[in-house]
Amino acid sequence: MAIGADSDEELLEKRIARLGLKIEGSPVEPLVKQLHDELAAKGLAFPPPCHVGDEWFVPVGIPAIFIPFFLVHERLRKLERKIILEVEGETPEWFMKLIRHEAAHAYAYAYQLYRKKKWQQTFGLSSRDETPSFYRPRPYSHSFVVHLDDWYAQSHPDEDFAETFAVWLTPGEDWRGRYKGWKALAKLEYLDELMRSIAGKPPPHQPEYRVADLDCLNLKLKTYYAKKRKQFEDAYPDFYDNDLRQLFPAPAEGSRRRRPRSFCRRTAGR
């Protein structure tokens, strides 16, 4: 379906799943290839499959990466920027930081890494409650690497592992020098040892799945942005565009703030 000629109002009435969005031939395709090349350069044999989804995520138990739909088409990037005021992963540098993080989750599932005793001793129990909407980071802690914003490694053991992996994977990153004297260096050294142990080996866990069951795209763009705006309400200035105010009525007072999450549940089991 062609979307370039539609007005914003017409586009917002369309279901995302029917827009014909694909990674192949999109602006993100070479960046996905870059991720796979970086993994191969480390001797790793598993290039995680990537699909279009409603946000950045790896389904629980499924070693696959979903990339936000708005990144695969320039018109949708413009719409995202107009409504949300930013486009997460818009620049190549930002995109790569995010996809390296997600690749870690894919590897954790593909190789069942979270089941290893030393993994649990190093990062904590993966079975702990899901990543919380709120957490209290310690900005000056040397026990965690710093990769994504908001000291995200401190939010959950899974995210600690993913952030450590992303730092380790980043080309040209002198992580031994940067984290010298930090407790986080022990995590990086363990991760380096762990990745060497699986280098060249195919993943033992590759369950079958249907992308349409996981991508959460069977909704109108209008509905997607109404929900997303509600989640981001604290970031919207009072002078927000009047047309958008009419399109997306203000949420009720007292709505709880939270970090943006997918609009459907990830139900795949481990």
Least confident of 77-86, 94-103, 204-213, 227-236: 227-236
Joined tokens for residue 217: 């795209």
Instruction: Reply yes or no on whether the pLDDT at 220 is more than 70.
Output: yes
pTM recorded for the entire structure? 0.85
Q: DSSP state, 115?
A: G
Joined tokens for residue 243: 């047309």
**pLDDT averaged over every residue in the chain:** 86
Q: Cα separation of 261 and 55, whole Å? A: 8
Would you call 50 helix, strand, or coil by DSSP?
A: strand
The residue among 248, 144, 251, 256 whose CA lies nearest residue 191 is 144
With beta carbons less than 8 A apart as the criterion, state whether 80 and 141 touch.
no
Q: Cα separation of 133 and 261, whole Å? A: 9
Joined tokens for residue 134: 């709120």
Joined tokens for residue 116: 């290893």
pLDDT of residue 250: 40
Q: Cα separation of 110 and 129, whole Å? A: 21
Q: pLDDT class for 126, splitting at 50, 70, 90? A: confident
Q: Cα separation of 163 and 100, whole Å? A: 8
What residue segments make up the domains of the chain, in order of their start? 1-91+205-270, 112-200
Q: Cα separation of 72 and 23, whole Å? A: 6
